[in-house]
Amino acid sequence: MRRIGFLLNPVAGMGGRVGLKGTDGKVEEARALGAEPRAPDRASEALAALADHDPTVDLLAYGDPMGASQVRSAGFDPTVVGHPAGEETGAEDTRAAVRAFLDHGVDLVLFVGGDGTAVDVAEVLEAGGVETPMLGVPAGVKVYSSVFAVTPRAAGRIAATYERTADREVNDIDEDEYREGEVHTELKAVVRVPVAEEVQSSKQLGGGSVESLAAGVAEEADPDVTYALGPGSTVGAVKRELGFEGSPLGVDVWRDGEVLVRDGSEREILDALGESNVVVVSPIGGQGFVFGRGNQQLSPTVLRRSEVLVVASRAKLDDIGVLRVDTGDPDLDEELRGWRRVRTGRFEHRLMQVE
């Protein structure tokens, strides 16, 4: 019987939809802006998939709000190995949970969070000198590390069925620099992770020339349409062709020559949308995510009011292979899956599979 230690960072990802680009040190600000926890729901998705594939797994959990309730709700009877020190959880609570799991000889640490949580888990594993694998359920705003499954349900499925592990990277960035538009990844650890196709790659920065596709989008821009332009260098080229220098890591809203919102939150984007709207995004290099990584402001509510235009260089698409979506709304994810036309040049397009 496989023994899994499960922990939840309850505040992971709260800053995403309110435009904070991370929650480290920003929990109270996120709450003041109306942010709601998204990690508990992601935890429940992963645990439901785990129960579907192996209801007999021996689950260890940490006390609420770090996962015990979600484990019980999924039908498991967990061994609770400890409790957080206070009402507000932090990195030390994560580290304490992992130490307790190791003391109980778990075969896998399954955690819900983002890169910051991954760093905390990895530090304990490395300090203990063990090769116990870890696997992340993606819930953070920034998910650069290659220790995460591509979706919560994939994480549960992998945790139940994996047969071997391999070394993968844990990366993180400085969130304050990230909010200022600077992205500098730093390798924090190398850990064992279950081997599966649905474990994401490390994010690769950079790409090819995108001037022609940006020019094509700008030439066809309709003055009656509101455009929500996502983060990244490719969409940044589109923003420049439209005549403004956008926020490199935020979502800007533009219509008929006017920037309506710069670096907007979900609420600001929704307030700026009109009768006809288009969301312009580019997949993350090396991973293929179109939604759910670094652009949570483009929420399911925003997407249901908009058409989606995906833009990418041919080189980026060759490297990715498939596109991925993880909006937090399984029904919307299913609607977005299938074949999608991606703009690769001024006139050129390519059909890509969305998984």
97-144 pLDDT, tens per residue?
999 999 999 999 999 999 889 999 999 999 988 899 999 999 876 687
How much is the pLDDT for 206?
A: 39
Q: What is the mean pLDDT of the chain?
A: 88
Stretch 238-252: mean pLDDT: 94
Please tell me the distance from the alpha carbon of residue 202 to that of residue 146, in angstroms, as a whole number: 5
Confidence of residue 19 (pLDDT cuts 50, 70, 90): very low
How much is the pLDDT for 285?
A: 85
More confident residue, 263 or 286: 263
pLDDT digits (tens, 9 = 90+) for 335-347: 999 999 899 888 7
How much is the pLDDT for 346?
A: 82
Share of the chain above pLDDT 70, in %: 86
How much is the pLDDT for 185?
A: 65
More confident residue, 29 or 43: 43
Beta bridge mates, 279: 228, 308
Total Cβ atoms within 10 A of residue 56:
9
pLDDT score of 31 more than 70 = no
Measured over the CA atoms of residue 193, residue 184, residue 142 and residue 307, the dihedral's sign is negative
How much is the pLDDT for 91?
A: 93
Burial of 346 (0-12, 13-18, 19+ CB in 10 A): middle
Stretch 147-155: mean pLDDT: 95
How much is the pLDDT for 204?
A: 46
CA neighbor of 145 nearest in space, from 136, 156, 154: 136
How much is the pLDDT for 203?
A: 55
Tell whether pTM > 0.75: no
pLDDT digits (tens, 9 = 90+) for 176-215: 555 455 555 678 888 999 999 899 876 544 333 588 899 8
